[in-house]
Amino acid sequence: MEYQLANRVSSLKPSIIREILKNSSDPEMIPFSAGNPAPEAFPVEAIQEISARILKDNPILALQYNLTEGYTPLRNTLKQYMASHHNSFREEQDELIVTTGAQQVMDLATKVLCNEGDVVVCEAPTFIGSLNTFRSYNCVLKGVPMDEDGINLEQLDKTLTENPGAKLLYVIPNFQNPSGITMSLEKRKGVYALAKKHNIMILEDNPYGDLRVSGEHLPTIKSMDEDGIVIYAGTFSKVISSGMRVGFAIAPKPIMQKMVVGKQCSDVHTTVWSQIICDEFINHYDYDGHLQKLVEIYRKKSTLMLNAIDQHLVPLGITHTKVEGGLFVWCTLPDSIDMLTFCSEAVKRKVCVVPGSAFLTDESQPCQSFRMNFSTPTDENIVKGVETLGQLAKDMMA
Amino acid sequence: MEYQLANRVSSLKPSIIREILKNSSDPEMIPFSAGNPAPEAFPVEAIQEISARILKDNPILALQYNLTEGYTPLRNTLKQYMASHHNSFREEQDELIVTTGAQQVMDLATKVLCNEGDVVVCEAPTFIGSLNTFRSYNCVLKGVPMDEDGINLEQLDKTLTENPGAKLLYVIPNFQNPSGITMSLEKRKGVYALAKKHNIMILEDNPYGDLRVSGEHLPTIKSMDEDGIVIYAGTFSKVISSGMRVGFAIAPKPIMQKMVVGKQCSDVHTTVWSQIICDEFINHYDYDGHLQKLVEIYRKKSTLMLNAIDQHLVPLGITHTKVEGGLFVWCTLPDSIDMLTFCSEAVKRKVCVVPGSAFLTDESQPCQSFRMNFSTPTDENIVKGVETLGQLAKDMMA
């Protein structure tokens, strides 16, 4: 049979990251291409305890259907936490639901707000998973370049002016994936003001916010949301467990009503066991202490990688962004080295990095950058892998 | 802010079932409206054992990111099982992925195959969750009436002839939700032949197939799929645990490649813990014995409800479909009783049933039926609830 596919998927390709991830199952490969939390970051003992307890005390609760909006105790916990710790939940304006990872927040926000052909504005580069979600709804993507302190506001104003019906402005203000860049407080305010001026909803994705290894915590854009124009995506993937698939969305009530209906149509509800684990862990364990432990893990790993880059890559003219947290460093090659050749040669030398063009709205645009991850590889391999990349750059320049 | 919602959701309402489910948290209510497996149907002890073991022996596997396609051992288990038990997986033609419940199979199949405005043909009545998924892609729904042995083939042929570009034919051949009807072997062959003739993909949803309490097992439509025109949706929601959210899809490879990309955009992957539990349970426990136990549970409950209906409702002119398995009985009121009034009066008497119109492609069509579920209520409440409905019908006829 000759299959007739929907327009929305006929041009959609598997994400390069996921494809590379498959190949990186080679145990010899140093996985700078990954985005996995460090294995030591998962609170294994606590999860063992909680899981045994809930399956003993209330197994049917964990195994039976539950509400689409999420497990009620976890929703209440998150509402309180996001209000008290981040000033990012307004009882009278917002609603909060649990999602199957933060990826589902992007999916539901797009489903609810974007008709086919609508414009989504985002940072360039940005997270490929979200780009593909927007593409899967046949949205038109408009990328806005970034400065060292976040998205360029003049370019953003220009893009929003040129696209008056644009529906969503997608940003990752903290330790952005892939660039590692953190948006300054001034720019957060500027982004909010421009969104308000141009009557566009902001989709704020904050998977790494708790993983700040240096500098001061900055307020979320959602905390400024007096006007009900921000949808916030949170997740436990980086701080409790990725495999559990628990994220959450905060959105103004009229938007959230439709997101709930969208979630009914997508997967009915999120795994209950995972939701109870998260709720119990936050409430009955030392959650702040756990986050502090993660920060120490990633401070060590990021420092190790940045020092190795300073030692082996910077002298060759390879630059990197300033990284205050998260999981990624963004490196840029001098013009004398072809980026795609560099990345494929690196794989041959058993080091896997992600070509920067994968994160652009238009992959065919020129790009000299690649993304490095420091959470997945061992400390030893961080040093070894950067050395290998330095040697490769030297060889390619010779 | 005045929110501008996407066309696909602006008319989409929360499913009546989910809304009723919320109200049915009233512990006084007899929940004939539900669709939850009986609590005693979950293999609690086995899940306790497996969970403790995997979190002890290989916690990082359960807690880390995994592949979008699903946990490889579970995929292999399911391929073998579906090939050997149901002749429903062809190595050279098909691929199998794990999904977040069977609901996600409907979502991904529609995402991959249907442009906005494309026609989806389905049984009338049919599962409201799937109807809403099709609606969420702005599909046009065409319902085909059912006979006692399944969809009416003449009407189906006529509908497919009148809608030559129709993309999906959605059927639930076993113990259909909501009608309880089982499609005969002859009709399964007829449906396949008509789909082939009209060049349309079949989406076969089989959540209840293992729950046959009488009569002979019939082959799946997927088992007839020499031409690669059937997408099959399976789930563990009724046989291991609903709250775990594990389903699976089998589809021809070119379709499945795109479904995988669609799933990347939706939720990256399904909860790993849940997938490992299912795999271990099938391979290392008495899965066939467990299914037999479920059949015994539901044979008892369905017999109890059907006997009560025969005693209290049939003498009043209320008819019901022949039920050989699954979780539901479909009852039809005589014309002298207004169906919607009957259902809302029943709630006042603490018995919750689902108005049949909820399951139609056009809810405003006349309908005298309502859906009854026998898996969720206690045995005592099955008898008590049917008695109450009988008294209500008597009062309304008086």
Q: What percent of chain A has pLDDT over 70?
A: 97
Nearest chain A CA: its distance from B181 CA (Å):
24
Contact call for residues B168 and B201 (beta carbons, < 8 A): yes
For residues A23-29, average pLDDT: 77
Cβ of A1 within 8 Å of Cβ of B100? The answer is no
DSSP 3-state assignment of B376?
coil
Cis peptide before A178 (omega within 30 of 0): yes
Amino acid, single-letter form, for residue B319: T
Cβ of B65 within 8 Å of Cβ of A242? The answer is yes
Nearest chain B CA: its distance from A93 CA (Å):
11
Strands B247-252 and B319-320: unpaired
Residue A17 has pLDDT above 60, yes or no: no
Cβ of A267 within 8 Å of Cβ of B104? The answer is yes
| Residues contacting A395, CB < 8 A, separation 6+ | none
Choose among B42, B52, B103: nearest Cβ to A268. B103
How far apart CA A57 and CA B179 sit, in angstroms, is: 36
Which of B133, B245, B375 to mutate: most A Cβ within 10 Å?
B245
User: What ipTM is given for this predicted complex?
Assistant: 0.95
Contact call for residues A149 and A191 (beta carbons, < 8 A): no
Residue in chain A lying closest to B12 (CA): A261
Cβ of B228 within 8 Å of Cβ of A1? The answer is yes
Task: Name beta bridge partners: B119.
Answer: B140
The count of residues in chain B is 398
Residue in chain A lying closest to B65 (CA): A243
Cβ of A3 within 8 Å of Cβ of B252? The answer is yes
How far apart CA B160 and CA B58 sit, in angstroms, is: 51
A53-74, pLDDT tens digit by residue?
999 999 999 999 999 999 999 9
In this predicted structure, what is the pLDDT of residue A12? Answer: 75
Cβ of A243 within 8 Å of Cβ of B66? The answer is yes
Asked if B258 is an interface residue toward chain A (Cβ–Cβ < 8 A), one would say: yes
How far apart CA A350 and CA B121 sit, in angstroms, is: 51
B299-354, pLDDT tens digit by residue?
999 999 999 999 999 999 999 999 999 999 999 999 999 998 999 899 889 999 99
Chain A contacts of B3, Cβ < 8 Å? 113, 201, 252, 254-255
In eight-state DSSP terms, residue B27 is T
Contact call for residues A332 and A346 (beta carbons, < 8 A): no
Asked if B121 is an interface residue toward chain A (Cβ–Cβ < 8 A), one would say: no
SS (HEC) of chain A:
CCCCCCHHHHCCCCCHHHHHHHHCCCCCCECCCCCCCCHHHCCHHHHHHHHHHHHHHCHHHHHCCCCCCCCHHHHHHHHHHHHHHHCCCCCCCEEEEEECCCHHHHHHHHHHHCCCCCEEEEEECCCHHHHHHHHHCCCEEEEEEEECCEECHHHHHHHHHHCCCCCEEEECCCCCCCCCCCCCHHHHHHHHHHHHHHCCEEEEECCCCCCECCCCCCCCCHHHCCCCCEEEEEECCCCCCCCCCCEEEEEEHHHHHHHHHHHHHHHCCCCHHHHHHHHHHHHHCCHHHHHHHHHHHHHHHHHHHHHHHHHHCHHHCCEECCCCECCEEEEECCCCCCHHHHHHHHHHCCECCEEHHHHCCCCCCCCCEEEEECCCCCHHHHHHHHHHHHHHHHHHHC
Contact call for residues B156 and B146 (beta carbons, < 8 A): no
Which of A239, A268, A270, A278 to mutate: most B Cβ within 10 Å?
A268
B148-157, pLDDT tens digit by residue?
999 999 999 9
Asked if A241 is an interface residue toward chain B (Cβ–Cβ < 8 A), one would say: yes
Angle at B65 between CA B205 and CA A351, to 5 degrees: 130
Residue A1 has pLDDT above 90, yes or no: no
In the structure, what pLDDT confidence band is assigned to residue A34 with cuts at 50, 70 and 90?
confident
In this predicted structure, what is the pLDDT of residue B99? Answer: 98
In this predicted structure, what is the pLDDT of residue B2? Answer: 82
A174-209, pLDDT tens digit by residue?
999 999 999 999 999 999 999 999 999 999 999 999
Nearest chain B CA: its distance from A324 CA (Å):
24
Q: Give the number of other Cβ atoms within 10 Å of residue A338's Cβ.
A: 13
How far apart CA A294 and CA A277 sit, in angstroms, is: 18
Contact call for residues B343 and B353 (beta carbons, < 8 A): yes
Cis peptide before B125 (omega within 30 of 0): yes
Asked if B107 is an interface residue toward chain A (Cβ–Cβ < 8 A), one would say: yes
By the 10 Å C-beta count (0-12 exposed, 13-18 middle, 19+ buried), B216 is classed as exposed
Amino acid, single-letter form, for residue A147: D
DSSP 3-state assignment of B371?
strand
How far apart CA B209 and CA B68 sit, in angstroms, is: 26
| Residues contacting B279, CB < 8 A, separation 6+ | B71, B73, B74, B77
Q: What is the full DSSP assignment across B92-141? A: TTEEEEEESTTHHHHHHHHHHH--TT-EEEEEES--HHHHHHHHHTTPEE
Asked if B138 is an interface residue toward chain A (Cβ–Cβ < 8 A), one would say: no
Asked if B132 is an interface residue toward chain A (Cβ–Cβ < 8 A), one would say: yes
Q: How far is CA A118 from the centre of its chain?
A: 22
Helical (H) or strand (E) element with B384: helix B379-397
In the structure, what pLDDT confidence band is assigned to residue A115 with cuts at 50, 70 and 90?
very high
Q: Which has the higher per-residue pLDDT, B291 or B23? A: B291
Nearest chain A CA: its distance from B336 CA (Å):
35
A166-182, pLDDT tens digit by residue?
999 999 999 999 999 99
Choose among B51, B56, B270: nearest Cβ to A55. B51
Asked if A340 is an interface residue toward chain B (Cβ–Cβ < 8 A), one would say: no
For residues A392-396, average pLDDT: 97
Amino acid, single-letter form, for residue B142: K
Q: Which of B153, A222, B162, B154 is nearest to B171 (CA)?
A: B153
In this predicted structure, what is the pLDDT of residue B362? Answer: 84
How far apart CA A32 and CA A355 sit, in angstroms, is: 11
Chain B contacts of A112, Cβ < 8 Å? 5-6, 9
Residue B31 corresponds to which tokens in the numbers above?
């929940």
DSSP 3-state assignment of B310?
helix
In the structure, what pLDDT confidence band is assigned to residue A365 with cuts at 50, 70 and 90?
confident
DSSP 3-state assignment of B320?
strand
Chain B contacts of A1, Cβ < 8 Å? 199, 227-229, 252
Residue B24 has pLDDT above 70, yes or no: no
A286-314, pLDDT tens digit by residue?
999 999 999 999 999 999 999 999 999 99
Compute the CA torsion angle B187, B193, B196, B200 (nearest 10 deg). -20
Cβ of A48 within 8 Å of Cβ of B55? The answer is yes
A236-248, pLDDT tens digit by residue?
999 999 999 999 9
In this predicted structure, what is the pLDDT of residue B27? Answer: 84
Residue A16 has pLDDT above 70, yes or no: no
Which of B93, B127, B267 to mutate: most A Cβ within 10 Å?
B267
Asked if A252 is an interface residue toward chain B (Cβ–Cβ < 8 A), one would say: yes
Residue A90 has pLDDT above 70, yes or no: yes
Cβ of B265 within 8 Å of Cβ of A136? The answer is yes
By the 10 Å C-beta count (0-12 exposed, 13-18 middle, 19+ buried), A27 is classed as exposed
Q: Of chain A residues 179-238, which have a CB less than 8 A from chain B?
A: 199, 201, 227-229, 237
Chain A contacts of B56, Cβ < 8 Å? 48
Lowest mean pLDDT across A71-75, A316-320, A352-356, A384-388: A352-356
Q: Which single residue is written with the structure tokens 């579970």?
A: B74
Q: Which of A33, A373, A357 is nearest to A175 (CA)?
A: A373
Amino acid, single-letter form, for residue B292: Q
How far apart CA B263 and CA B250 sit, in angstroms, is: 14
Which of A2, A7, A9, A139 to mutate: most B Cβ within 10 Å?
A9
Looking at every residue in chain A, the average pLDDT score rounds to 95
Choose among B55, B60, B271: nearest Cβ to A271. B271
B166-182, pLDDT tens digit by residue?
999 999 999 999 999 99
Contact call for residues B320 and B239 (beta carbons, < 8 A): no
Amino acid, single-letter form, for residue B195: A
DSSP 3-state assignment of B375?
coil
Residue B38 has pLDDT above 60, yes or no: yes
Chain B contacts of A127, Cβ < 8 Å? none
Cβ of B103 within 8 Å of Cβ of A6? The answer is no
Q: Which of B5, B62, B41 is nearest to B238 (CA)?
A: B41
B178-204, pLDDT tens digit by residue?
999 999 999 999 999 999 999 999 999
Residue B244 has pLDDT above 70, yes or no: yes
Q: Give the number of other Cβ atoms within 10 Å of residue A353's Cβ.
A: 23
For residues A352-373, average pLDDT: 91
How far apart CA B242 and CA B229 sit, in angstroms, is: 28
In the structure, what pLDDT confidence band is assigned to residue B21 with cuts at 50, 70 and 90?
low
Chain B contacts of A60, Cβ < 8 Å? 39, 42, 44
In this predicted structure, what is the pLDDT of residue B18? Answer: 56
The count of residues in chain A is 398
Asked if A25 is an interface residue toward chain B (Cβ–Cβ < 8 A), one would say: no
Strands A119-124 and A328-332: unpaired
In the structure, what pLDDT confidence band is assigned to residue B26 with cuts at 50, 70 and 90?
confident
Contact call for residues A122 and A169 (beta carbons, < 8 A): yes
| Residues contacting A84, CB < 8 A, separation 6+ | none
